[in-house]
Every structure is written in structure tokens, then in C-alpha cells.
Amino acid sequence: MPNQKNAQESFTTMTEMVFPNDTNGLNGLMGGRLLYWMDIVAAIAAQKHSNSYVVTASVDNVSFSHPIKIGNVVTLKAKVTRAFNTSMEVHIEVQAEDVPSSQVVESHRAFFTMVAVNLRGNKTKVPELIPETEEEQQLFAGALRRRQLRLVLAGRMKPDEANELRSIFDISDAPKQENA
């Protein structure tokens, strides 16, 4: 397995059609069905990058900006934005298309964290990711901040240890609260 891969090597596209059994009472795609599809496309992208089995570690920042209706064709695009020791951040973009009217809308975006594992379920190292395009470089740079925020929110990192978040929250210069 190579020690480095570019983001494009993990690029994955998946297409689904919204059928009645995928929808709620308002004929909109159920959020759980969309998350299921997003989990699949994220896993495929992460497997392509790691050449390994993967499991979902976290799902965050799922932005629901436009409803998806019955009969729409849904296209999910995913690629790894950064690889850490055993985990990978995967960015997913979702488009919904009303084919008869030729209308396409950007409906959802999300970040999933996937962890590479072997057949016994033990974590395994993944190749480093080399960003090439400007967009890939921006996603790569932001991935460390997003990772630290996830770890802080999960209680796996202390806020004062999250060096990348200091500039956002100005942790070092925050005034101390006094008890009155």
C-alpha cells in the first residue's frame, strides 16, 4: 500500500432514486434514508483511500439546505479530505435532481469520520493524503480544526489542548470568570 495518496483517488459518486418507501408523509426523502446513503458513499471513499475495511466513527455538520422529493434523482459525491493515523475525514456533497424539469439543487453537505480496521476489527494505519487543488487544500487545512472540535465535544480532548481551535475561540486570552 502506498504511503501517500491524493484526494481524487478516493472520489466516489453514488446515484439513487427516491421511491415512495423512502419518503415521509409529505413525500420528502426521510433523513434516515439519506444518512444511510451518505454512510455508504463515505465508506466507499474511505475504503478506496485506505485499501481497508472501515467503520463510521462520527457524523457531523450535516447541513439540510433543500428538501429532496419523491421521484428526485439523488447524487452523492464523496472524497477523503484528510487522513490521520487510522482515521479519515470524508466530505460528502448531495445533489437532488428533478429530471423532467432539469432542475438540480445542492441539498446537503456533511463530514463523516471513518476509521480503517482489519478483519479482527483492530485499527490500521492509513496512507497520508496529499491535497492538490485549492478546494482540497482548504478542506485539508480545516480538517484538523474540525477533528479537534469533534474530540473536544466527545470529551476525548481538553479544550486547552486543542491548539488549532485557539484562534477561533481565543482560549489563551479568555478572561477568567470570578465567582461573586
117-176: pLDDT as tens digits: 999 999 999 999 999 999 999 999 999 888 888 887 788 777 777 777 776 655 555 455
| Mean pLDDT of the 44-63 span | 93
Start-to-end CA distance of the chain, whole Å, equals: 60
CATH of domain 4-130: 3.10.129.10
Query: Containing H/E element for 105?
Result: strand 103-117
- What pLDDT, on the 0 to 100 scale, is given for residue 103? 96
**β-pairing, 128-130 with 4-6?**
parallel
0.95 exceeded by pTM: no
Mean pLDDT, the chain, rounded, equals 90
